[in-house]
């Protein structure tokens, strides 16, 4: 195994030396750098301007956490569909010296939320209510999260990290073609869910190169720069948010805002082969699912077919099916629900889980139940950063759906999330991602909805190997799973590992979702003959990854499914 790895490493080193180092250009139209090799530091994010902000902060002497804070805030301006200050997220951190931390700044249900708030009097679920408009919003966590990350690990002054976002909001920036189209597509909803017309709507349709100027957002960011978390959760910005709640009949109160606190969780750390994987514990299902799936994949698998062969894909689907059955029943906010982490990760349990795996036939999801233990936007965005000292940060952050609830706090210029849809509105009823849940993930005041976000750092022989993550709702853990297998099992160069087409199964619905061109016709036929139902869907995830190469350099790859950009030096 080791010999094979050495040969692959050698081949990759030769391959990588052919890729020229490069920097993203910022003149419009933007050049979106998809791949670069750098000596010292790298940033990969969903937008070229945000990536540049991160690189600038590193060049100024900031560390990876400083850069992550500045990139998150910049994304709130230049990538409003998922970058945010009105949403939440998770951060995985590993210092060059080996200190690890996991920050949960997930949104919380307001104190006035209740279990059946998205059901009518007959118990029918009202999906519009949890997806769009003021009742869909959880108490935002992003500003507290950034403040807390900076308080513990930051180096540069806080205001220095907010300043680039203020400038981008105040002066505006040219929209890419993709962003212009995306805003045009949402114009109707922005009008429907707001009393005053937000900056995202213009009388004529947006076109590439038009400037998006966000003066209200710039003022909100100035408050945050000056007063830190209090600039958001108290004072004029909080007052505007509460005014919006009152105007539209929302539930979030000043007390909800004041009480919001992000939480340092114990990172979920597990071994797989010679790797140590550090990922997000509950309230995200991401780390648990990733650990379950890699463990079920096993470590001694002489697979005949290899990457995207029917044999490998079938096995991955069956693994995903079994893991997601557990997600629906057992995973939730650990402050409200006893998540049986030990049982879910028990190697013997996971082996038993695969005992009925048939290499030639699909197992119908109806016959796969969650394990029984004695104790009880898809729009999101990810950024990966490694600084010159070797500190690494993986952040996944979200408003949930693209542009969240579509509610923009009038006068404050920021979008509010629709994270309440990540709760289970009623046992067995699918949410936005078609995921079903039960009691574990029922709504309760102050509770955090179950997430799938999987910011992940991988170590090999105790040294940094990979920083990775992606948006994509319930497809997040399976995308990270695929990238890890692509790199560490199938030996693909990082660019291919990230850019190659993906597929996804989540137990229910019992369907294998495929990106266009994901698998050859022959493999699709074989899978159908095994009993799988295949369904093509739009693109899955936008992975941002940084791999430390055998020669010590950093290989940064931005997904080619969007304007995602790698930067570094
Ligand atoms: N809102 C998507 C997630 O947290 O998984």
Average pLDDT over residues 289-318: 89
What are the b/e assignments for 342-367, b being 16+ CB within 10 Å? ebbbbeebbeebeeeeeeeebbebee
Is ligand 1 within 6 A of the CB of residue 473? yes
How does pLDDT run across 329-346, given as a tens digit for each residue?
999 999 999 999 999 999
Confidence of residue 305 (pLDDT cuts 50, 70, 90): confident
Is ligand 1 within 6 A of the CB of residue 397? no
Confidence of residue 378 (pLDDT cuts 50, 70, 90): low
CATH of domain 270-378+454-554: 1.10.246.130
| Mean of pLDDT over the chain | 93
Confidence of residue 211 (pLDDT cuts 50, 70, 90): very high
Is it the case that residue 440 has pLDDT exceeding 80?
Answer: yes
Is it the case that residue 29 has pLDDT exceeding 90?
Answer: no
Q: What's residue 371's pLDDT?
A: 80
Average pLDDT over residues 59-82: 98
Residue nearest (by alpha carbon) to ligand 1 atom 2: 473
Q: What is the 130 CA–ligand 1 centroid distance (Å)?
A: 14
Average pLDDT over residues 359-367: 95
Whether the upstream peptide bond of residue 283 has omega within 30° of 0, thus cis, is yes
Q: What's residue 301's pLDDT?
A: 62
Confidence of residue 10 (pLDDT cuts 50, 70, 90): very low
How does pLDDT run across 240-253, given as a tens digit for each residue?
999 999 999 999 99
pTM to 2 decimal places: 0.94
Average pLDDT over residues 468-480: 97
Which of the two residues, 431 and 386, has the higher pLDDT score? Answer: 386
Query: Which residue ranges does the chain devote to CATH 1.10.246.130?
Result: 270-378+454-554
Q: What's residue 313's pLDDT?
A: 96
Residues forming a β-bridge with 504: 513
Is it the case that residue 6 has pLDDT exceeding 90?
Answer: no
Percent of the chain residues topping a pLDDT of 70: 93
Gap between the Cα atoms of 514 and 503, Å rounded: 4
Q: What is the 67 CA–ligand 1 centroid distance (Å)?
A: 23
For a mutational test of ligand 1's pocket, the pick from 418, 473, 479, i.e. the residue with the most ligand atoms closer than 8 A to its C-beta, is 473
Residue nearest (by alpha carbon) to ligand 1 atom 3: 451
Q: Which residues contact 505 (CB under 8 A, 6 or more apart)?
A: 317, 320, 321, 324, 478, 511, 512, 513
Residue 548 CA, distance from chain mean position: 21
Is ligand 1 within 6 A of the CB of residue 453? yes
Q: What's residue 28's pLDDT?
A: 87
Is it the case that residue 18 has pLDDT exceeding 70?
Answer: no
Q: Is 380 labeled as catalytic in the residue annotation?
A: yes
Q: What is the 303 CA–ligand 1 centroid distance (Å)?
A: 33
Is it the case that residue 119 has pLDDT exceeding 70?
Answer: yes
Which of the two residues, 397 and 10, has the higher pLDDT score? Answer: 397
Annotated catalytic residue within 51, 220, 276, 380: 380
Please give the backbone phi and psi of residue 443, each rounded to the nearest 5 degrees, phi first: -70, 140
Whether the upstream peptide bond of residue 509 has omega within 30° of 0, thus cis, is yes
Gap between the Cα atoms of 136 and 407, Å rounded: 9
Q: Is the Cα torsion angle 283, 284, 287, 291 positive or negative in sign?
A: positive
Is ligand 1 within 6 A of the CB of residue 54? no
For a mutational test of ligand 1's pocket, the pick from 476, 480, 506, i.e. the residue with the most ligand atoms closer than 8 A to its C-beta, is 476
How does pLDDT run across 253-302, given as a tens digit for each residue?
999 999 999 999 999 999 999 999 999 999 999 999 999 999 999 876 66
Q: What is the 205 CA–ligand 1 centroid distance (Å)?
A: 30
Q: What's residue 300's pLDDT?
A: 61
Confidence of residue 432 (pLDDT cuts 50, 70, 90): confident
Percent of the chain residues topping a pLDDT of 90: 89
Gap between the Cα atoms of 486 and 321, Å rounded: 19
Is ligand 1 within 6 A of the CB of residue 418? no
* Continuous segment of H or E residues that includes residue 291: helix 286-297
Q: What is the 176 CA–ligand 1 centroid distance (Å)?
A: 25
3-state secondary structure 256-267: HHHHCCCEEECC
Q: What's residue 492's pLDDT?
A: 96
How does pLDDT run across 124-173, given as a tens digit for each residue?
999 999 999 999 999 999 999 999 999 999 999 999 999 999 999 999 99
Which of the two residues, 488 and 434, has the higher pLDDT score? Answer: 488
| 3 state DSSP class of 550 | coil
Query: 404, 401, 441, 400: which is closest to 424 by C-alpha?
Result: 441
Average pLDDT over residues 509-521: 96
């Amino acid at each position: 195994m080791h010999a094979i790895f050495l040969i692959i490493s050698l081949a990759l080193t030769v391959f990588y030396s052919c890729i020229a180092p490069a920097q993203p250009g910022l003149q419009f139209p933007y050049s979106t750098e998809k791949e670069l090799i750098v000596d010292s530091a790298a940033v990969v994010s969903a937008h070229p301007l945000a990536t540049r902000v991160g690189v600038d902060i590193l060049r100024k002497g900031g560390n990876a956490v400083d850069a992550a804070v500045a990139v998150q805030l910049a994304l709130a301006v230049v990538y409003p569909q998922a970058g945010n200050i009105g949403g939440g997220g998770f951060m995985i951190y590993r210092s060059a010296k080996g200190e690890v931390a996991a920050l949960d700044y997930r949104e919380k249900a307001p104190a006035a939320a209740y279990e059946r708030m998205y059901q009518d009097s007959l118990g029918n679920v009202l999906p519009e209510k949890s997806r769009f408009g003021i009742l869909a919003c959880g108490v935002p966590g992003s500003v507290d999260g950034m403040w807390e990350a900076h308080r513990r690990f930051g180096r540069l002054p806080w205001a220095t990290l907010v300043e680039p976002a203020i400038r981008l909001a105040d002066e505006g920036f040219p929209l890419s073609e993709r962003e212009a189209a995306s805003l045009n597509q949402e114009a109707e909803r922005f009008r429907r869910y707001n009393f005053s017309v937000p900056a995202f709507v213009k009388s004529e349709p947006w076109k590439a190169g038009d400037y998006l100027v966000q003066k209200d957002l710039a003022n909100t960011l100035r408050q945050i720069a000056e007063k830190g978390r209090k600039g958001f959760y108290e004072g004029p910005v909080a007052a505007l948010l509460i005014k919006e709640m009152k105007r539209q009949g929302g539930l979030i109160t000043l007390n909800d805002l004041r009480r919001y606190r992000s939480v340092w969780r114990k990172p979920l750390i597990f071994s797989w082969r010679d790797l140590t994987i550090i990922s997000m514990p509950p309230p995200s299902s991401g780390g648990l699912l990733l650990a379950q799936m890699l463990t079920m994949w096993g470590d001694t698998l002489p697979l005949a077919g290899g990457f995207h062969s029917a044999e490998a894909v079938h096995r991955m689907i069956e693994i995903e099916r079994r893991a997601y059955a557990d997600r629906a029943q057992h995973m939730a906010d650990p402050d409200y629900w006893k998540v049986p982490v030990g049982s879910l990760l028990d190697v013997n349990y996971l082996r038993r889980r695969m005992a009925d795996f048939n290499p030639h036939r699909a197992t119908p999801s109806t016959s796969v139940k969650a394990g029984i233990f004695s104790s009880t936007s898809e729009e999101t965005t990810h950024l990966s950063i490694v600084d010159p000292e070797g500190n690494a940060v993986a952040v996944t952050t979200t408003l949930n759906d693209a542009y969240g609830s579509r509610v923009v706090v009038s006068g404050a210029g920021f979008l509010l999330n629709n994270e309440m849809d990540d709760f289970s509105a009623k046992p067995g009823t699918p949410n936005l991602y078609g995921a079903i849940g039960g009691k574990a993930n029922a709504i309760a005041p102050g509770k955090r909805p179950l997430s799938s976000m999987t910011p992940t750092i991988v170590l090999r022989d105790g040294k940094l190997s990979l920083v990775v993550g992606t948006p994509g709702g319930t497809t997040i853990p399976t995308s990270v799973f695929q990238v890890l297998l692509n790199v560490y099992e199938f030996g693909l160069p990082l660019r291919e590992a990230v850019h190659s087409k993906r597929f996804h199964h989540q137990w229910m619905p019992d369907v294998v979702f495929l990106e266009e061109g994901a698998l050859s016709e022959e493999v699709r036929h074989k899978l159908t003959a095994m009993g799988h139902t295949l369904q093509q869907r739009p693109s899955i995830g936008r992975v941002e990854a940084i791999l430390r190469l055998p020669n010590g350099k950093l290989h940064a790859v931005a997904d080619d499914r969007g304007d995602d950009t790698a930067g570094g030096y």
